[in-house]
Amino acid sequence: MNYDIRPIATFEEYKACEQLQSQVMGLSDLNVIPYPLLQSFARAGGAVLGAFDGSAMVGCVFGYVGLSDDGVFYHRSQRLAVLPAYQGRGLGEALKRAQAAHALARGLRLMCWTFDPLRARNAHLNLHKLGAMSPVYLPDAYAALSDTRDAGAPIDRLWVEWWLDAPQTNRMWADLDSLPIALRNVKDRPADLDVSLQAAVVCIQIPDDIDVVRATDMSTARAWRMATRQAFTAYLARGYRVVDFVRACGYILMRHPAPIP
């Protein structure tokens, strides 16, 4: 199915973007990025894009220009939202790629954002489909927000870096079943945490759908947060990087991967 993805232009479209954030992410008015700030992003060279099915906005993505500690300008993608009825159709990927094209047209090679490492669908999009990677785990990235999907658990995030002009290669991981597992998913419960593995490539497993876990057993969801936090922080501190997410294995972490050219 084809969608019209284009910059948001009118007041009505900005307000629709506000509503989408609330609908998709369960945010209150206090935590929605509002129209005046969205417009400021666009005027300052950021991307504020909508996906339209006819006249109806069914997805949006937006971000702004950032500057890293080492002086690199990049596009900071702040939020992506797609209506539930339109998820699983490639629309999120299309919006991200449109955002990347916007950044490249303005001379920005790098796009960065954060996502919840317990969300398998997001991990697959960000790391496997787009080819981004993550060097940093952010514990307690945001103050606890009672109106979000993370309510009742710490809000941890992976920091994603996507070098937009780097050649995208689909890694073929041989013998996935034989890769050492630092954290195992056993019937939607974390098990066998091991932060001492020395292999060049290791796996961290997560549940297929963390929302199902949260709906049935919040204590298990919290256990997942703490176990993944421990696993990611331990391996990233030792020079590993999160380079892929394969549903049959989970996160794939590689020690000292080749730098981006």
For the stretch 81-130, pLDDT in tens is: 999 999 999 999 999 999 999 999 999 999 999 999 999 999 999 999 99
Q: Which of 194, 196, 125 is nearest to 162 (CA)?
A: 125
As a whole-number percent, the residues of the chain with pLDDT over 70 amount to 92
Q: pLDDT for 19-53, tens place per residue?
A: 999 999 888 888 899 999 999 999 999 999 999 99
d(CA 80, CA 163): 18
Residues in the chain: 261
pLDDT at 258: 67
d(CA 176, CA 115): 24
Dihedral angle of Cα 190, 196, 116, 30, to the nearest 10 degrees: 100
pLDDT bin (cut points 50, 70, 90) of residue 261 is low
With a cut of 60, say whether residue 146 has pLDDT above it: no
pLDDT bin (cut points 50, 70, 90) of residue 137 is very high
pLDDT at 176: 83
Start-to-end Cα distance in the chain? 35
pLDDT at 167: 79
Give the residue-averaged pLDDT of 141-158: 71
Helix 35-43 with 11-25: angle, nearest 10 deg = 120
H-state helical runs in the chain: 11-25, 35-43, 91-105, 120-123, 210-216, 218-237
pTM of the model: 0.91
Give the residue-averaged pLDDT of 144-159: 71
